[in-house]
């Protein structure tokens, strides 16, 4: 049986990363490790959270058609290597992608059967509080991320199969888990 492709998107600070970590802990599903040109944050491991690569290497991968999708976000490039996904799916493994919305749009076009889930914060105010609370993001970065979040929220309902509002973490994790297991 062919594996399925699940896409999780959502504004930074929506709690998406926490939800994904919990889902990966409990479900038998692979995670698609993206390539990125951004610098690793403390605690991030090459090959586990991302493959951290140079802009030149990234552009070469784009040129060679090795990425299923890619996008520029906050001055950094992010992309999903296609081969690990095809290999996983070919042996019946499901795989989860954590990508932003421009990339999600490309996946929707290239893989119409992908199951696409959008994680929404309860409100833009809550999102701002969470970003500020993280303490690792500059004011300029926060303003930029909030602008992007506003755009994303508008586009979400059209592009995604499901929107999960993260007003309560355990509930949101349960909802995403049910959506994934229900689709498998
Ligand atoms: P961060 O730098 O905080 O890890 O990620 C910033 C944004 O890039 C997040 O919304 C994350 O989902 C997105 N992202 C991570 N990997 C990819 C990817 O391979 N492709 C795209 N389009 N977005 C990605």
| Ligand 1 residue neighbourhood (C-beta within 6 Å) | 12, 34, 38, 69-71, 73, 78-80, 98-100, 102-103
- Segment 168-178 shows an average pLDDT of 96
| Residue 1 reports pLDDT greater than 80 | no
The preferred substitution site among 96, 98, 101 for testing ligand 1, maximizing ligand atoms within 8 Å of CB, is 98
Q: Average pLDDT, whole number, for the chain?
A: 92
pLDDT at 152 (0 to 100): 74
Q: Which of 65, 58, 17 is nearest to 41 (CA)?
A: 17
pLDDT at 39 (0 to 100): 97
Q: Which protein residue's CA is at the shortest distance from atom 7 of ligand 1?
A: 100
If you search the block for the tokens 């991968």, which residue do you land on? 61
What separation in Å is there between the alpha carbon of 78 and the centre of ligand 1? 6
Q: Which residue has the higher pLDDT, 145 or 178?
A: 178
Q: Which protein residue's CA is at the shortest distance from atom 23 of ligand 1?
A: 99
List, for residues 2-16, the tens digit of each pLDDT value. Answer: 899 999 998 877 889
Q: Which of 117, 101, 119, 96 is nearest to 166 (CA)?
A: 119
List, for residues 101-123, the tens digit of each pLDDT value. Answer: 999 999 999 999 999 999 998 88
Q: Which protein residue's CA is at the shortest distance from atom 10 of ligand 1?
A: 100
Q: Is residue 154 very low, low, confident or very high in pLDDT (cuts 50, 70, 90)?
A: confident
Residue 72 contacts residue 80 (beta carbons within 8 Å): no
Q: Which atom of ligand 1 lies closest to the CA of 80? A: 19
The torsion region of residue 35 among left (phi > 0), alpha (psi -120 to 50) and beta comes to: beta
Q: Which protein residue's CA is at the shortest distance from atom 19 of ligand 1?
A: 79
The preferred substitution site among 19, 45, 68, 78 for testing ligand 1, maximizing ligand atoms within 8 Å of CB, is 78
| Residue 19 reports pLDDT greater than 90 | yes
The region of weakest confidence among 55-64, 136-145, 173-182 is 136-145
Tokens found for residue 146:
């909030």
- Segment 43-52 shows an average pLDDT of 96
Q: Which atom of ligand 1 lies closest to the CA of 49? A: 4
**CA atoms of 67 and 64, how far apart (whole Å):** 8
């Amino acid at each position: 049986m062919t594996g399925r492709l699940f896409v999780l998107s959502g504004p930074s600070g929506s709690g998406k990363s926490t939800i994904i970590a919990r889902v990966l802990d409990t479900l038998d599903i692979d995670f698609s490790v993206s390539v990125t040109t951004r610098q690793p944050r403390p605690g991030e491991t090459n090959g586990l959270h991302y493959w951290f690569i140079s802009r030149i290497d990234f552009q070469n991968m784009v040129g060679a058609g090795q990425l299923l999708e890619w996008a520029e976000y906050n001055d950094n490039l992010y992309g999903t290597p296609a081969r690990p996904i095809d290999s996983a799916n070919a042996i019946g493994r499901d795989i989860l992608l954590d990508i932003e919305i421009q990339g999600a749009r490309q996946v929707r076009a290239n893989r119409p059967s992908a199951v696409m889930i959008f994680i929404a914060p309860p409100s833009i105010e809550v999102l701002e509080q969470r970003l500020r609370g993280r303490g690792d993001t500059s004011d300029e970065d926060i303003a930029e991320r909030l602008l992007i979040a506003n755009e994303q929220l508008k586009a979400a309902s059209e592009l995604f199969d499901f929107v999960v509002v993260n007003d309560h973490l355990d509930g949101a994790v349960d909802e995403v888990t049910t959506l994934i297991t229900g689709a498998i």
